[in-house]
Amino acid sequence: MPTKQLSRETRSLRAVLDNPALPALIQSLPARDLAQLCARIGIGDAAQIMALAPAERLVQALEVSVWKTPRPGMSEVFDPRELIEWIGAWLEIGETFTAQRLAAVPDENLMLYLSQLASVSTTAMWGFERSTEIEDLDRIYAPSHDETTYGPYVVSARQHEDWEILRGSLDAMWADAPERLLHLLSQLVGDESMAAPQRNRASSNEDVVAGRDTARERRGYVTANGARAFLAQARAGFEELSAACGYDLETQHYLTGLADGDPQVDAPEVTHLATLHTALEDVGLLEPRADRVLLRHEASSRQLAVVTLLQALAAADAAQFDARAREVAYLGSVLIAGIAIDGHTFSPTQARDAVLATCNLGLEMLSAHGGRVRIEDEPGLVRLFLVGFGKLSACPPRSLSPAFGICRRCARPAPNHCTSGCWSRPNCASQI
C-alpha cells in the first residue's frame, strides 16, 4: 500500500510540474502550505518547487519547517536536521540561489540557525588551542579538511556530517555578502571559552525564541501558549459565553494575521490554480482548503445542524461564509497546537471535524436555551465552539478521544467514517 501511494503521488507530481500554471500556484501558496508540500514530496526532491517560490516566502516556509512541536501544548523546538536538509536542497539548485535565500533570512534567525550548526573561533585562539595539542609549528596553521577560515574567524561544524553543507552555505554567503557573514560570526565567536560564551549564546537564543513566538502571534499564528489561553476561556461558564458579542483578543490576532497574509492572485489564473491545488489535495500533497472542506459531508454520517447552517450561509452570503471558514481554520489550529488525543496531535482533517462537532454541540446547547442561533456575524462559530468545548471539558478524560473525533468502536475519525451515531453525543456509551 505505501508503494502504491508513493507511486500515485509521483505520477501526480510529474503531471503538474509541466503545467504552465504551476509557477503561479507555488507563488500563491502560504508559507505553511509551501512547507507542507515540500515535506510531503521530500525536501531532497522538492528543488523545482523551491526554485519557483519567492525568496521571502521560501524563507518563511523554512522557518515553519525547522520549528517542531514535541507534543501538543508544548512550545516548539528547533530541529537542526531539518535545516541541514533544506540548505542542502538549496545548494543543489546553486550557490547563487542559496546566497539569495540566506540573504532573505533575518539576522536574528540566521544567527540562531548558525549557532546550532557551527563552532566559531578567532584564528588567534584557534592557533593557540592547536599549539597545546601539536608541537610542530608548521602543522599548527596547516589547512584542515573540516575547518575553513573567513576573515579572522575559523569555522567548523558541530556535527562532522554537516560540514559539507555548512561550508557550502558559508561559502555562498562569503561570495555574496562577506560583511554580513563576518558580523554574524563575530556574534558567535566563543574565544572567551568555557561556560561564559555558551551561557551568553544560550541566553541570546532564548531571546530569539521568545521574540519569534511574540512575532508569530502578532502575525496570527497559533502558538501553544496562545492555544492554552484561548481554550481557558471555555471555563467562563455558559451564561458568559452565550452572551459574547465579539471576538476575544486571541481570535482577533489570528484572524487579522490571516487577512493580512492571504496572497493575492490575478483573476484569470484562479481557475487554473484551483485545478492544480485540487489535484495536489487529491493525492495528499496539500491539505484541503477550509472554504471547501467545511461543506464536505459523507453520506454515512449524520448531517450536523451547524453544517446545514453553513450551507445556507454559503448560498446567501459568500463573504460571511469565508469569515466562518477562517474561524474554522483558527479553531483547528488551536486544537492542533493545544490538544492531544491519546498522545497524538490532530491531523488537519481531524481538527476540522472536531471543530465542527464541537460547534454543533454548542449550537445544540444554545438552541436548547431558547432563541434562534445566528452565525452570520462575529463571534460566529467561535462562540459555538467555546460553549461546546466548555461542556466537553467537564467530561471524563477517557471520553475525550471520541468526543474530539476518534470513535472507540472503529478507531477512525467519527464524522466521516463512524456510523455508530456517537459523534457529538457526550453521553454515548461508545465514548466510555
Q: What is the pLDDT of residues 287-298, one digit of tens each?
A: 666 545 455 544
Which residue is it, cell 471555555? Answer: 234
| pLDDT score for 404 | 53
Q: What percent of the chain has pLDDT over 90?
A: 31
| pLDDT score for 267 | 37
Coil, strand or helix at 58: helix
Retrieve residue 195's grid coordinates.
Answer: 561556560
| pLDDT score for 166 | 96
Contacts by 351-354, CB closer than 8 A, 24 or more apart:
352/290, 352/293, 352/294, 352/328, 353/405, 353/413, 353/414, 353/415, 353/416, 354/404, 354/405
| pLDDT score for 126 | 55
Looking at every residue in the chain, the average pLDDT score rounds to: 75
User: Is a pLDDT exceeding 80 seen at residue 6?
Assistant: no
Rounded Cα gap, residues 6 and 8, in angstroms: 5
Residue 290 phi/psi, 5-degree rounding, is: -60, -35
What average pLDDT score do residues 275-289 get? 63
> CA nearest 168: which of 88, 112, 234, 276?
88
What average pLDDT score do residues 177-184 get? 95
| pLDDT score for 22 | 80
> For residue 251, which amino acid is it?
T
Which element (helix H / strand E) includes 101? helix 95-103
What average pLDDT score do residues 147-165 get? 91
| pLDDT score for 398 | 52
Q: Specify whether the CB–CB gap between 431 and 422 falls below 8 A.
A: yes
> CA nearest 36: which of 220, 261, 287?
287
> For residue 409, which amino acid is it?
R
Instruction: Tell me how crowded residue 371 is: count the other CB atoms within 10 A of its CB.
Output: 8
Strand pairing report for 67-68 and 77-78: antiparallel
- 68 burial class (0-12, 13-18, 19+ CB within 10 angstroms)? exposed
Q: Specify whether the CB–CB gap between 324 and 293 falls below 8 A.
A: no
User: Is a pLDDT exceeding 90 seen at residue 80?
Assistant: yes
> CA nearest 383: which of 224, 234, 222, 225?
234
| pLDDT score for 349 | 79
User: Is a pLDDT exceeding 50 seen at residue 418?
Assistant: no
Out of 30-44, 235-249, 287-301, 407-421, pick the least confident.
Answer: 407-421
C-alpha dihedral sign at 236, 239, 240, 245: positive
How distant is the alpha carbon of residue 94 from its chain centre? 26
Bridge partner residues of 120 (DSSP): 155
What average pLDDT score do residues 174-187 get? 94
Coil, strand or helix at 376: coil
Q: Specify whether the CB–CB gap between 131 and 82 falls below 8 A.
A: no
Instruction: Tell me how crowded residue 124 is: count the other CB atoms within 10 A of its CB.
Output: 11
Is the pTM value of this prediction over 0.85? no
- Per the model's pLDDT, the better-predicted residue between 154 and 341 turns out to be 154
Rounded Cα gap, residues 361 and 368, in angstroms: 11
Coil, strand or helix at 41: helix
pLDDT tens column, 197-234: 444 445 455 665 666 666 666 555 677 788 888 999 98
Cα→Cα distances 298→97, 203, 403, 418, Å:
46, 51, 18, 10
Counting every residue, how long is the chain?
A: 432
Question: To 10 degrees, the CA torsion angle through 27, 285, 403, 216?
Answer: -30
pLDDT band at 3 (very low <50, low <70, confident <90, very high): very low
**What Rg do the C-alpha atoms of the chain give, in angstroms?**
26
* Exposed e or buried b per residue across 265-302, where buried means at least 16 C-beta atoms within 10 angstroms of its C-beta: eeeeeeebbeebbebbeebebbbbebbebbeebeeebb
| pLDDT score for 74 | 73
Rounded Cα gap, residues 139 and 223, in angstroms: 51
Out of 56-65, 91-100, 260-269, pick the least confident.
Answer: 260-269
Rounded Cα gap, residues 10 and 253, in angstroms: 38
User: Is a pLDDT exceeding 60 seen at residue 359?
Assistant: yes
What average pLDDT score do residues 252-280 get? 57
Rounded Cα gap, residues 424 and 402, in angstroms: 9
Coil, strand or helix at 67: strand
C-alpha dihedral sign at 89, 93, 94, 99: negative
Cα→Cα distances 111→117, 176, 412, Å:
10, 17, 43
